[in-house]
Amino acid sequence: MHSPDAPRPATRSARSPMYRFLRHGLLQHRVSVGVLAAATVMTAACSTTSPTAASGPSGTPGASSSPSGRKDLQSRTADPAALTGLHIITNSSESGRCRYAARYPAIPGADALTDALSKAVQADIDRFAGSGDSESGCAGGQDRPELNISFEILQASGDVAAVRLTTLDYTAAGSGLSTTTYWYDGATHTSPANAELFTGQALKPLATRIKEQLAHREGADPALLDQVLATDSDTADALRDVSFTANGDLAIDFDRGAVAVPPAGAQHIEIPRTDALSLLSDFGRRTQQLAVDPSPGLDLGVTPTADTAPIATPAAREVNCRKVKCLALTFDDGPGPHTKRLLEILAENDAHATFFLVGQNVRTYRTLTRAELDAGHQVGNHTWDHADLTHRKAADVRSEISRTNQAITSATGTTPTLVRPPYGAVNTAVRRQLTMPIILWSVDTEDWKHHDSSYLADYTIRTARPGDIVLFHDIHATSVAAIPRILQTFTARGYHFVTVSQLYGNRKLRAGVTYHANEQAYGR
Ligand code: NI
Protein backbone atom coordinates (compact mmCIF):
# COMPACT_ATOMS: atom_id res chain seq x y z
CA MET A 1 0.00 0.00 0.00
CA HIS A 2 1.77 3.08 -1.09
CA SER A 3 -0.73 5.77 -0.40
CA PRO A 4 1.02 8.36 1.71
CA ASP A 5 -2.23 8.79 3.58
CA ALA A 6 -3.07 5.13 4.07
CA PRO A 7 -4.12 4.55 7.66
CA ARG A 8 -1.68 2.46 9.60
CA PRO A 9 -2.50 0.06 12.39
CA ALA A 10 -3.54 2.01 15.45
CA THR A 11 -0.28 1.86 17.32
CA ARG A 12 1.83 3.05 14.43
CA SER A 13 3.56 6.37 14.87
CA ALA A 14 2.67 9.24 12.60
CA ARG A 15 4.70 9.43 9.44
CA SER A 16 7.25 12.20 9.35
CA PRO A 17 6.64 15.01 6.85
CA MET A 18 10.01 14.40 5.24
CA TYR A 19 9.22 10.76 4.69
CA ARG A 20 5.81 11.59 3.28
CA PHE A 21 7.40 14.03 0.88
CA LEU A 22 10.10 11.62 -0.15
CA ARG A 23 7.80 8.73 -0.69
CA HIS A 24 5.24 10.74 -2.57
CA GLY A 25 7.91 12.29 -4.75
CA LEU A 26 9.46 8.97 -5.57
CA LEU A 27 6.13 7.49 -6.47
CA GLN A 28 5.95 9.83 -9.40
CA HIS A 29 8.76 8.02 -11.16
CA ARG A 30 7.48 6.18 -14.15
CA VAL A 31 7.50 2.42 -14.14
CA SER A 32 7.13 0.66 -17.41
CA VAL A 33 4.33 -1.87 -17.55
CA GLY A 34 6.85 -4.27 -19.02
CA VAL A 35 8.87 -4.32 -15.83
CA LEU A 36 5.76 -5.07 -13.79
CA ALA A 37 4.66 -7.72 -16.19
CA ALA A 38 8.02 -9.43 -15.98
CA ALA A 39 7.68 -9.62 -12.21
CA THR A 40 4.27 -11.24 -12.44
CA VAL A 41 5.47 -13.81 -14.90
CA MET A 42 8.35 -14.74 -12.73
CA THR A 43 6.28 -15.33 -9.62
CA ALA A 44 3.62 -17.16 -11.56
CA ALA A 45 6.25 -19.41 -13.05
CA CYS A 46 7.72 -20.12 -9.63
CA SER A 47 4.39 -21.03 -8.18
CA THR A 48 3.45 -23.50 -10.86
CA THR A 49 6.45 -25.57 -9.91
CA SER A 50 5.29 -25.78 -6.30
CA PRO A 51 1.50 -25.88 -6.26
CA THR A 52 1.34 -26.53 -2.52
CA ALA A 53 3.04 -23.23 -1.80
CA ALA A 54 -0.15 -21.41 -2.82
CA SER A 55 1.96 -18.47 -3.76
CA GLY A 56 0.81 -15.40 -5.57
CA PRO A 57 1.96 -12.24 -7.25
CA SER A 58 4.18 -11.16 -4.41
CA GLY A 59 7.07 -10.50 -6.73
CA THR A 60 8.83 -7.20 -6.94
CA PRO A 61 10.42 -5.65 -9.99
CA GLY A 62 13.75 -5.49 -8.24
CA ALA A 63 13.81 -9.14 -7.36
CA SER A 64 16.88 -9.59 -9.50
CA SER A 65 18.80 -7.66 -6.88
CA SER A 66 18.09 -10.41 -4.38
CA PRO A 67 17.60 -13.72 -6.11
CA SER A 68 17.75 -15.66 -2.86
CA GLY A 69 14.92 -13.60 -1.45
CA ARG A 70 12.45 -14.78 -4.06
CA LYS A 71 12.58 -18.38 -2.93
CA ASP A 72 11.89 -17.41 0.63
CA LEU A 73 8.95 -15.27 -0.39
CA GLN A 74 7.50 -18.28 -2.18
CA SER A 75 8.09 -20.85 0.52
CA ARG A 76 6.67 -18.94 3.44
CA THR A 77 3.11 -18.49 2.18
CA ALA A 78 0.32 -20.45 3.82
CA ASP A 79 -2.43 -22.31 2.00
CA PRO A 80 -5.71 -20.39 2.47
CA ALA A 81 -7.68 -23.58 1.81
CA ALA A 82 -6.33 -24.87 5.13
CA LEU A 83 -8.01 -22.03 7.05
CA THR A 84 -11.51 -23.07 8.02
CA GLY A 85 -14.14 -20.39 7.51
CA LEU A 86 -11.83 -18.03 5.60
CA HIS A 87 -13.63 -15.65 3.26
CA ILE A 88 -12.32 -13.36 0.55
CA ILE A 89 -13.70 -9.84 0.47
CA THR A 90 -13.74 -8.17 -2.94
CA ASN A 91 -13.91 -4.46 -3.60
CA SER A 92 -14.09 -3.69 -7.30
CA SER A 93 -15.29 -1.38 -10.04
CA GLU A 94 -15.77 -2.37 -13.66
CA SER A 95 -16.20 1.20 -14.82
CA GLY A 96 -14.41 1.75 -18.11
CA ARG A 97 -12.82 4.93 -16.83
CA CYS A 98 -11.75 3.63 -13.43
CA ARG A 99 -11.13 -0.07 -13.05
CA TYR A 100 -10.06 -1.62 -9.83
CA ALA A 101 -10.21 -5.03 -8.22
CA ALA A 102 -9.06 -5.63 -4.66
CA ARG A 103 -9.24 -8.85 -2.68
CA TYR A 104 -8.28 -9.42 0.94
CA PRO A 105 -8.96 -12.23 3.41
CA ALA A 106 -11.31 -12.17 6.39
CA ILE A 107 -9.76 -14.67 8.82
CA PRO A 108 -12.32 -15.83 11.42
CA GLY A 109 -11.44 -14.39 14.84
CA ALA A 110 -8.93 -11.84 13.47
CA ASP A 111 -11.32 -8.89 13.30
CA ALA A 112 -8.66 -6.25 13.95
CA LEU A 113 -6.64 -7.60 11.02
CA THR A 114 -9.64 -7.67 8.69
CA ASP A 115 -10.39 -4.12 9.74
CA ALA A 116 -6.81 -2.98 9.06
CA LEU A 117 -6.83 -4.65 5.63
CA SER A 118 -10.20 -3.16 4.78
CA LYS A 119 -9.06 0.36 5.69
CA ALA A 120 -5.78 0.03 3.81
CA VAL A 121 -7.54 -1.25 0.68
CA GLN A 122 -10.15 1.50 0.87
CA ALA A 123 -7.47 4.16 1.29
CA ASP A 124 -5.64 2.89 -1.80
CA ILE A 125 -8.85 2.79 -3.82
CA ASP A 126 -9.81 6.28 -2.66
CA ARG A 127 -6.43 7.58 -3.69
CA PHE A 128 -6.62 5.78 -7.03
CA ALA A 129 -10.21 6.75 -7.80
CA GLY A 130 -9.68 10.12 -6.14
CA SER A 131 -10.60 13.54 -7.25
CA GLY A 132 -7.81 15.08 -9.22
CA ASP A 133 -5.19 15.71 -6.56
CA SER A 134 -2.51 13.97 -8.60
CA GLU A 135 -1.72 12.80 -12.09
CA SER A 136 -1.92 9.21 -10.89
CA GLY A 137 -5.04 7.06 -10.83
CA CYS A 138 -8.38 7.69 -12.48
CA ALA A 139 -8.34 11.45 -12.20
CA GLY A 140 -5.14 11.78 -14.20
CA GLY A 141 -6.70 11.30 -17.62
CA GLN A 142 -4.69 8.14 -18.30
CA ASP A 143 -5.97 5.61 -20.79
CA ARG A 144 -7.73 2.74 -18.98
CA PRO A 145 -6.15 3.03 -15.53
CA GLU A 146 -6.23 -0.15 -13.46
CA LEU A 147 -5.58 -0.87 -9.81
CA ASN A 148 -5.13 -4.47 -8.70
CA ILE A 149 -4.71 -5.53 -5.07
CA SER A 150 -4.17 -9.16 -4.15
CA PHE A 151 -3.06 -10.98 -1.03
CA GLU A 152 -0.93 -13.78 0.33
CA ILE A 153 -1.24 -15.31 3.78
CA LEU A 154 2.35 -15.39 5.05
CA GLN A 155 1.67 -16.90 8.43
CA ALA A 156 -1.34 -18.53 10.06
CA SER A 157 -0.26 -20.55 13.02
CA GLY A 158 -0.90 -20.53 16.75
CA ASP A 159 -2.23 -17.09 17.64
CA VAL A 160 -0.38 -15.18 14.89
CA ALA A 161 -1.50 -14.35 11.36
CA ALA A 162 0.23 -12.27 8.70
CA VAL A 163 -1.16 -11.12 5.37
CA ARG A 164 0.79 -9.39 2.63
CA LEU A 165 -1.10 -7.09 0.26
CA THR A 166 0.42 -6.55 -3.18
CA THR A 167 -0.73 -3.48 -5.06
CA LEU A 168 -0.26 -2.97 -8.79
CA ASP A 169 -1.11 0.45 -10.13
CA TYR A 170 -1.35 0.49 -13.90
CA THR A 171 -1.28 4.19 -14.45
CA ALA A 172 1.67 5.70 -16.19
CA ALA A 173 2.39 8.04 -13.30
CA GLY A 174 1.75 5.45 -10.63
CA SER A 175 4.41 3.76 -8.59
CA GLY A 176 3.64 0.35 -10.03
CA LEU A 177 4.07 -2.33 -7.44
CA SER A 178 4.13 -2.10 -3.67
CA THR A 179 3.80 -4.58 -0.84
CA THR A 180 2.77 -4.26 2.79
CA THR A 181 2.45 -6.90 5.49
CA TYR A 182 -0.31 -6.76 8.12
CA TRP A 183 -0.17 -8.69 11.39
CA TYR A 184 -2.61 -10.13 13.86
CA ASP A 185 -1.71 -10.98 17.45
CA GLY A 186 -4.31 -13.24 19.06
CA ALA A 187 -2.82 -12.56 22.52
CA THR A 188 -3.81 -8.90 22.39
CA HIS A 189 -6.54 -9.06 19.71
CA THR A 190 -4.77 -6.28 17.83
CA SER A 191 -3.13 -5.73 14.46
CA PRO A 192 0.40 -4.64 15.37
CA ALA A 193 2.51 -2.57 13.00
CA ASN A 194 5.56 -4.21 11.44
CA ALA A 195 7.74 -2.12 13.77
CA GLU A 196 6.16 -3.82 16.79
CA LEU A 197 7.97 -7.02 15.91
CA PHE A 198 10.98 -5.19 17.38
CA THR A 199 11.72 -3.66 20.74
CA GLY A 200 11.84 0.15 20.89
CA GLN A 201 15.58 0.00 21.60
CA ALA A 202 16.18 -2.18 18.55
CA LEU A 203 15.07 0.35 15.92
CA LYS A 204 18.38 2.23 15.95
CA PRO A 205 20.64 -0.84 15.57
CA LEU A 206 18.17 -2.23 13.04
CA ALA A 207 18.44 0.97 10.97
CA THR A 208 22.23 0.66 11.08
CA ARG A 209 22.01 -2.94 9.95
CA ILE A 210 19.67 -2.06 7.05
CA LYS A 211 22.04 0.71 5.93
CA GLU A 212 25.03 -1.64 6.06
CA GLN A 213 23.29 -4.15 3.84
CA LEU A 214 21.99 -1.63 1.32
CA ALA A 215 24.88 0.82 1.17
CA HIS A 216 27.03 -1.28 -1.15
CA ARG A 217 24.36 -2.33 -3.59
CA GLU A 218 23.97 -1.04 -7.09
CA GLY A 219 21.61 1.92 -6.94
CA ALA A 220 22.41 2.68 -3.32
CA ASP A 221 21.58 6.21 -2.24
CA PRO A 222 23.24 6.92 1.14
CA ALA A 223 21.56 10.31 1.46
CA LEU A 224 18.15 8.75 0.90
CA LEU A 225 18.90 6.01 3.42
CA ASP A 226 19.93 8.59 6.00
CA GLN A 227 16.67 10.44 5.48
CA VAL A 228 14.37 7.42 5.42
CA LEU A 229 16.01 5.94 8.52
CA ALA A 230 16.77 9.21 10.31
CA THR A 231 14.80 8.69 13.53
CA ASP A 232 13.20 5.67 15.22
CA SER A 233 9.84 6.95 14.03
CA ASP A 234 11.12 7.14 10.44
CA THR A 235 12.51 3.62 10.69
CA ALA A 236 9.17 2.37 12.03
CA ASP A 237 7.44 3.97 9.05
CA ALA A 238 9.87 2.44 6.58
CA LEU A 239 9.16 -1.06 7.89
CA ARG A 240 6.15 -1.93 5.75
CA ASP A 241 6.87 -5.50 4.73
CA VAL A 242 8.60 -7.56 7.40
CA SER A 243 8.34 -11.33 7.58
CA PHE A 244 10.18 -14.47 8.62
CA THR A 245 11.59 -17.21 6.46
CA ALA A 246 10.81 -20.82 7.30
CA ASN A 247 14.12 -21.05 9.18
CA GLY A 248 13.44 -17.94 11.24
CA ASP A 249 15.58 -15.43 9.38
CA LEU A 250 14.15 -11.94 9.33
CA ALA A 251 13.18 -10.67 5.86
CA ILE A 252 12.51 -7.01 5.12
CA ASP A 253 11.22 -5.84 1.74
CA PHE A 254 11.26 -2.28 0.47
CA ASP A 255 9.31 -0.99 -2.52
CA ARG A 256 11.02 0.35 -5.57
CA GLY A 257 12.38 3.80 -4.81
CA ALA A 258 11.87 3.56 -1.05
CA VAL A 259 15.49 3.02 0.01
CA ALA A 260 17.47 3.09 -3.26
CA VAL A 261 17.25 4.87 -6.60
CA PRO A 262 14.12 3.68 -8.43
CA PRO A 263 15.91 1.98 -11.35
CA ALA A 264 17.53 -0.38 -8.81
CA GLY A 265 14.07 -1.81 -8.14
CA ALA A 266 12.66 -3.20 -4.92
CA GLN A 267 15.13 -4.18 -2.22
CA HIS A 268 15.12 -7.26 -0.02
CA ILE A 269 17.35 -7.86 2.96
CA GLU A 270 17.64 -10.72 5.42
CA ILE A 271 19.01 -10.88 8.94
CA PRO A 272 19.96 -14.34 10.22
CA ARG A 273 17.74 -15.84 12.90
CA THR A 274 20.22 -15.62 15.75
CA ASP A 275 21.15 -12.00 14.95
CA ALA A 276 17.47 -11.09 14.67
CA LEU A 277 16.63 -12.55 18.06
CA SER A 278 18.17 -9.68 20.03
CA LEU A 279 16.13 -7.15 18.04
CA LEU A 280 12.73 -8.78 18.47
CA SER A 281 9.95 -7.86 20.88
CA ASP A 282 7.98 -10.58 22.69
CA PHE A 283 5.50 -10.56 19.80
CA GLY A 284 8.38 -10.75 17.31
CA ARG A 285 9.96 -13.71 19.11
CA ARG A 286 6.66 -15.58 19.29
CA THR A 287 6.14 -14.93 15.59
CA GLN A 288 9.64 -16.08 14.70
CA GLN A 289 9.17 -19.25 16.75
CA LEU A 290 5.86 -20.00 14.97
CA ALA A 291 7.52 -19.43 11.59
CA VAL A 292 10.19 -22.02 12.41
CA ASP A 293 7.92 -24.49 14.18
CA PRO A 294 4.31 -23.83 13.12
CA SER A 295 1.45 -25.07 15.28
CA PRO A 296 -0.85 -27.49 13.52
CA GLY A 297 -3.40 -24.75 12.98
CA LEU A 298 -4.50 -21.22 13.69
CA ASP A 299 -6.08 -20.79 17.13
CA LEU A 300 -7.70 -17.41 17.62
CA GLY A 301 -10.23 -18.56 20.20
CA VAL A 302 -13.14 -18.96 17.78
CA THR A 303 -14.52 -22.10 16.19
CA PRO A 304 -15.13 -21.24 12.54
CA THR A 305 -17.65 -23.29 10.63
CA ALA A 306 -16.46 -25.08 7.54
CA ASP A 307 -18.05 -24.26 4.22
CA THR A 308 -20.26 -27.24 3.54
CA ALA A 309 -21.45 -27.98 0.06
CA PRO A 310 -24.98 -26.76 -0.58
CA ILE A 311 -27.67 -29.08 -1.86
CA ALA A 312 -27.05 -30.15 -5.43
CA THR A 313 -29.28 -29.18 -8.34
CA PRO A 314 -30.18 -32.09 -10.58
CA ALA A 315 -27.52 -32.32 -13.26
CA ALA A 316 -28.02 -30.25 -16.37
CA ARG A 317 -30.62 -31.71 -18.73
CA GLU A 318 -30.74 -31.67 -22.51
CA VAL A 319 -32.20 -28.35 -23.59
CA ASN A 320 -32.48 -27.31 -27.23
CA CYS A 321 -32.21 -23.52 -27.24
CA ARG A 322 -33.29 -23.40 -30.89
CA LYS A 323 -36.65 -24.75 -29.80
CA VAL A 324 -37.17 -23.28 -26.33
CA LYS A 325 -36.37 -19.86 -24.92
CA CYS A 326 -33.03 -19.87 -23.10
CA LEU A 327 -31.10 -17.42 -20.95
CA ALA A 328 -27.54 -17.89 -19.73
CA LEU A 329 -26.92 -16.17 -16.42
CA THR A 330 -23.22 -15.69 -15.72
CA PHE A 331 -21.60 -14.84 -12.40
CA ASP A 332 -18.09 -13.40 -12.31
CA ASP A 333 -15.31 -12.84 -9.77
CA GLY A 334 -16.18 -15.60 -7.31
CA PRO A 335 -16.47 -17.87 -5.56
CA GLY A 336 -17.15 -15.61 -2.59
CA PRO A 337 -19.09 -15.28 0.63
CA HIS A 338 -22.49 -15.24 -1.15
CA THR A 339 -21.91 -18.04 -3.65
CA LYS A 340 -23.34 -20.75 -1.42
CA ARG A 341 -26.64 -18.87 -1.10
CA LEU A 342 -26.74 -18.42 -4.88
CA LEU A 343 -26.28 -22.15 -5.42
CA GLU A 344 -29.22 -22.79 -3.10
CA ILE A 345 -31.39 -20.32 -5.03
CA LEU A 346 -30.46 -21.90 -8.37
CA ALA A 347 -31.21 -25.37 -6.98
CA GLU A 348 -34.59 -24.30 -5.58
CA ASN A 349 -35.53 -22.95 -9.01
CA ASP A 350 -34.07 -25.80 -11.05
CA ALA A 351 -31.86 -23.33 -12.91
CA HIS A 352 -28.31 -23.61 -14.22
CA ALA A 353 -25.70 -20.93 -14.73
CA THR A 354 -22.07 -20.29 -15.61
CA PHE A 355 -19.44 -19.06 -13.16
CA PHE A 356 -16.33 -17.23 -14.36
CA LEU A 357 -13.90 -17.80 -11.52
CA VAL A 358 -10.89 -15.90 -10.25
CA GLY A 359 -8.08 -18.40 -9.62
CA GLN A 360 -7.05 -16.75 -6.38
CA ASN A 361 -10.58 -17.33 -5.02
CA VAL A 362 -10.71 -20.92 -6.26
CA ARG A 363 -7.64 -21.60 -4.14
CA THR A 364 -9.64 -20.57 -1.04
CA TYR A 365 -13.10 -21.85 -2.02
CA ARG A 366 -12.29 -25.31 -3.28
CA THR A 367 -15.45 -26.91 -1.85
CA LEU A 368 -17.73 -24.31 -3.41
CA THR A 369 -15.96 -24.62 -6.76
CA ARG A 370 -16.63 -28.35 -6.70
CA ALA A 371 -20.24 -27.72 -5.65
CA GLU A 372 -20.78 -25.50 -8.70
CA LEU A 373 -19.80 -28.28 -11.06
CA ASP A 374 -21.53 -31.00 -9.05
CA ALA A 375 -24.78 -29.06 -9.38
CA GLY A 376 -24.55 -29.08 -13.17
CA HIS A 377 -23.32 -25.51 -13.59
CA GLN A 378 -20.43 -24.55 -15.85
CA VAL A 379 -17.23 -22.90 -14.66
CA GLY A 380 -15.02 -20.72 -16.80
CA ASN A 381 -11.71 -18.91 -16.42
CA HIS A 382 -11.65 -15.25 -15.25
CA THR A 383 -7.85 -15.03 -14.73
CA TRP A 384 -5.83 -15.52 -11.56
CA ASP A 385 -6.18 -12.07 -9.99
CA HIS A 386 -8.74 -10.29 -12.14
CA ALA A 387 -6.15 -8.76 -14.44
CA ASP A 388 -6.90 -6.44 -17.34
CA LEU A 389 -5.14 -8.67 -19.87
CA THR A 390 -4.63 -5.82 -22.32
CA HIS A 391 -2.14 -4.43 -19.77
CA ARG A 392 -0.17 -7.68 -19.52
CA LYS A 393 2.60 -9.10 -21.67
CA ALA A 394 1.88 -12.22 -23.72
CA ALA A 395 3.62 -14.54 -21.25
CA ASP A 396 1.67 -12.94 -18.40
CA VAL A 397 -1.61 -13.46 -20.22
CA ARG A 398 -0.79 -17.13 -20.64
CA SER A 399 0.15 -17.59 -16.99
CA GLU A 400 -2.98 -15.74 -15.77
CA ILE A 401 -5.02 -18.29 -17.70
CA SER A 402 -3.01 -21.44 -17.09
CA ARG A 403 -2.64 -20.84 -13.36
CA THR A 404 -6.40 -20.43 -13.02
CA ASN A 405 -7.13 -23.52 -15.10
CA GLN A 406 -4.72 -25.46 -12.90
CA ALA A 407 -6.43 -24.25 -9.71
CA ILE A 408 -9.87 -25.23 -11.04
CA THR A 409 -8.64 -28.59 -12.30
CA SER A 410 -6.91 -29.27 -8.99
CA ALA A 411 -10.10 -28.45 -7.03
CA THR A 412 -12.59 -30.22 -9.28
CA GLY A 413 -10.91 -32.52 -11.78
CA THR A 414 -12.55 -30.53 -14.57
CA THR A 415 -10.68 -28.07 -16.79
CA PRO A 416 -12.57 -25.00 -18.02
CA THR A 417 -13.18 -24.59 -21.74
CA LEU A 418 -14.39 -20.97 -21.69
CA VAL A 419 -12.65 -17.74 -20.74
CA ARG A 420 -14.01 -14.30 -19.86
CA PRO A 421 -11.30 -11.63 -19.65
CA PRO A 422 -11.89 -9.25 -16.73
CA TYR A 423 -13.59 -5.99 -17.73
CA GLY A 424 -14.30 -7.66 -21.08
CA ALA A 425 -10.93 -6.24 -22.09
CA VAL A 426 -9.48 -7.95 -25.17
CA ASN A 427 -7.35 -6.87 -28.10
CA THR A 428 -5.58 -8.65 -30.90
CA ALA A 429 -2.54 -9.45 -28.77
CA VAL A 430 -4.68 -10.95 -26.01
CA ARG A 431 -6.81 -12.96 -28.45
CA ARG A 432 -3.70 -14.53 -29.85
CA GLN A 433 -2.82 -15.94 -26.42
CA LEU A 434 -6.26 -17.29 -25.57
CA THR A 435 -6.81 -20.92 -26.43
CA MET A 436 -10.49 -20.89 -25.45
CA PRO A 437 -13.58 -19.13 -26.82
CA ILE A 438 -14.02 -15.67 -25.25
CA ILE A 439 -17.45 -15.32 -23.66
CA LEU A 440 -18.60 -11.77 -23.05
CA TRP A 441 -22.25 -10.75 -22.53
CA SER A 442 -25.23 -9.09 -24.17
CA VAL A 443 -26.94 -7.83 -20.99
CA ASP A 444 -24.80 -5.95 -18.48
CA THR A 445 -26.61 -5.41 -15.20
CA GLU A 446 -23.75 -3.22 -13.88
CA ASP A 447 -24.41 -4.82 -10.53
CA TRP A 448 -21.00 -3.68 -9.25
CA LYS A 449 -22.51 -0.18 -9.36
CA HIS A 450 -26.16 -0.84 -8.54
CA HIS A 451 -26.30 -2.49 -5.13
CA ASP A 452 -30.08 -2.64 -5.34
CA SER A 453 -31.75 -6.02 -5.79
CA SER A 454 -35.07 -4.77 -7.02
CA TYR A 455 -33.42 -2.49 -9.59
CA LEU A 456 -31.29 -5.41 -10.82
CA ALA A 457 -34.30 -7.72 -11.10
CA ASP A 458 -36.38 -5.06 -12.88
CA TYR A 459 -33.58 -4.21 -15.29
CA THR A 460 -32.92 -7.84 -16.21
CA ILE A 461 -36.61 -8.68 -16.61
CA ARG A 462 -37.08 -5.63 -18.83
CA THR A 463 -33.97 -6.20 -20.94
CA ALA A 464 -33.17 -9.89 -21.43
CA ARG A 465 -34.32 -11.71 -24.59
CA PRO A 466 -33.94 -15.35 -25.67
CA GLY A 467 -30.31 -16.25 -26.33
CA ASP A 468 -28.88 -13.52 -24.12
CA ILE A 469 -25.87 -13.88 -21.84
CA VAL A 470 -26.47 -11.85 -18.68
CA LEU A 471 -23.60 -10.51 -16.57
CA PHE A 472 -23.75 -10.60 -12.75
CA HIS A 473 -21.16 -10.86 -9.97
CA ASP A 474 -21.89 -13.28 -7.15
CA ILE A 475 -19.52 -11.40 -4.84
CA HIS A 476 -22.38 -8.96 -4.12
CA ALA A 477 -25.19 -9.96 -1.74
CA THR A 478 -27.53 -7.60 -3.60
CA SER A 479 -26.90 -9.40 -6.88
CA VAL A 480 -27.63 -12.80 -5.38
CA ALA A 481 -30.80 -11.46 -3.76
CA ALA A 482 -32.03 -10.28 -7.18
CA ILE A 483 -31.91 -13.76 -8.69
CA PRO A 484 -35.06 -15.45 -7.29
CA ARG A 485 -37.47 -12.99 -8.91
CA ILE A 486 -35.56 -13.14 -12.20
CA LEU A 487 -35.73 -16.95 -12.23
CA GLN A 488 -39.39 -17.08 -11.27
CA THR A 489 -40.50 -14.39 -13.73
CA PHE A 490 -38.73 -15.87 -16.75
CA THR A 491 -39.60 -19.45 -15.84
CA ALA A 492 -43.28 -18.45 -15.77
CA ARG A 493 -42.74 -17.07 -19.29
CA GLY A 494 -41.40 -20.41 -20.50
CA TYR A 495 -37.68 -19.68 -20.36
CA HIS A 496 -34.97 -22.17 -19.43
CA PHE A 497 -31.87 -21.13 -17.52
CA VAL A 498 -28.90 -22.85 -19.09
CA THR A 499 -25.09 -22.85 -19.06
CA VAL A 500 -23.21 -20.99 -21.80
CA SER A 501 -22.31 -24.26 -23.51
CA GLN A 502 -25.95 -25.35 -23.47
CA LEU A 503 -26.97 -21.98 -24.92
CA TYR A 504 -24.81 -22.65 -27.96
CA GLY A 505 -25.80 -26.32 -28.26
CA ASN A 506 -23.93 -28.05 -31.05
CA ARG A 507 -22.41 -24.86 -32.39
CA LYS A 508 -18.64 -25.04 -32.34
CA LEU A 509 -17.12 -22.09 -30.49
CA ARG A 510 -13.65 -21.04 -31.66
CA ALA A 511 -10.65 -20.15 -29.56
CA GLY A 512 -9.83 -16.45 -29.42
CA VAL A 513 -13.22 -15.48 -30.89
CA THR A 514 -15.62 -13.29 -28.89
CA TYR A 515 -19.21 -14.36 -28.23
CA HIS A 516 -21.85 -12.08 -26.72
CA ALA A 517 -25.10 -14.00 -27.18
CA ASN A 518 -26.51 -16.83 -29.26
CA GLU A 519 -28.32 -14.98 -32.01
CA GLN A 520 -29.49 -18.29 -33.43
CA ALA A 521 -31.43 -19.11 -30.29
CA TYR A 522 -35.22 -19.29 -30.23
CA GLY A 523 -36.95 -16.17 -31.47
CA ARG A 524 -33.91 -14.20 -32.64
NI1 NI B 1 -14.80 -9.58 -13.29
Same domain, 154 and 209: yes
CATH number at residue 404: 3.20.20.370
Predicted pLDDT of residue 36: 34
User: 292, 317, 346 — which closes off a domain?
Assistant: 292
Predicted TM-score of the model (pTM)? 0.82
Q: What is the pLDDT of residues 47-72, one digit of tens each?
A: 322 323 333 333 333 333 332 333 33
- Res. 145 pLDDT band, cuts 50 70 90: confident
Domain that holds residue 236: 17-292
Distance in Å, CA 401 to ligand 1 centroid: 14
Q: Is residue 288 domain-shared with residue 348, that is, in the same domain?
A: no
SS3 state of residue 360: helix
Both 397 and 346 in one domain: the answer is: yes
Amino acid at 154: L
Give the rounded distance of the alpha carbon of 3 from its chain centre: 18
340 with 230, same domain: the answer is no
Same domain, 277 and 398: no
Kindly state whether residue 9 falls inside one of the protein's structural domains. no
- Please report whether residue 306 resides in a domain: no
- Indicate if 73 and 202 belong to the same structural domain: yes
CA distance 149 to 172: 17
Q: Active-site residue numbers?
A: 332, 473
One domain, residues 279 and 409 = no
389 and 253 in a common domain:
no
For the chain, what is the domain count? 2
Residue 122 included in any domain: yes
pLDDT digits (tens, 9 = 90+) for 376-405: 999 999 999 999 999 999 999 999 999 999
Q: What is the pLDDT of residues 248-272, one digit of tens each?
A: 999 999 999 999 999 899 999 999 9
Residue 5 in any domain: the answer is: no
Whether 260 is in a domain gets the answer: yes
Inside any domain, residue 316: no
Last residue of a domain, one of 267, 292, 317: 292
Cβ atoms within 10 A of the Cβ of 361, count?
Answer: 28
In which band, very low, low, confident or very high, does the pLDDT at 22 lie, cut at 50, 70 and 90?
A: very low
**CA 386 to centroid of ligand 1, rounded, Å:** 6
Q: Are residue 351 and residue 220 in the same domain, yes or no?
A: no
Q: How far apart are CA 498 and CA 328, in angstroms?
A: 5
Question: From ligand 1's centre to the CA of 422, what distance in Å?
Answer: 5
- Cβ–Cβ under 8 Å, residues 193 and 281: no
Pair (210, 357) in one structural domain? no
Q: What is the pLDDT of residues 413-468, one digit of tens each?
A: 999 999 999 999 999 999 999 999 999 999 999 999 999 999 999 999 999 999 99
Q: What is the pLDDT of residues 206-250, one digit of tens each?
A: 999 999 999 999 999 999 999 999 999 999 999 999 999 999 999
Q: Single out the residue of 104, 181, 102, 105 nearest to residue 148, CA to CA.
A: 102
Q: Using the mean position of ligand 1's atoms as its centre, give its distance from the Cα of residue 287 in Å.
A: 36
Query: Could you list which residues have their CB under 5 Å from ion ligand 1?
Result: 332-333, 422
Among 292, 312, 343, the domain boundary falls at 292
CATH number of the domain encompassing residue 107 = 3.30.565.40
Co-location of 261 and 395 in the same domain? no
Same domain for 267 and 386? no
Residue 449 within a domain = yes
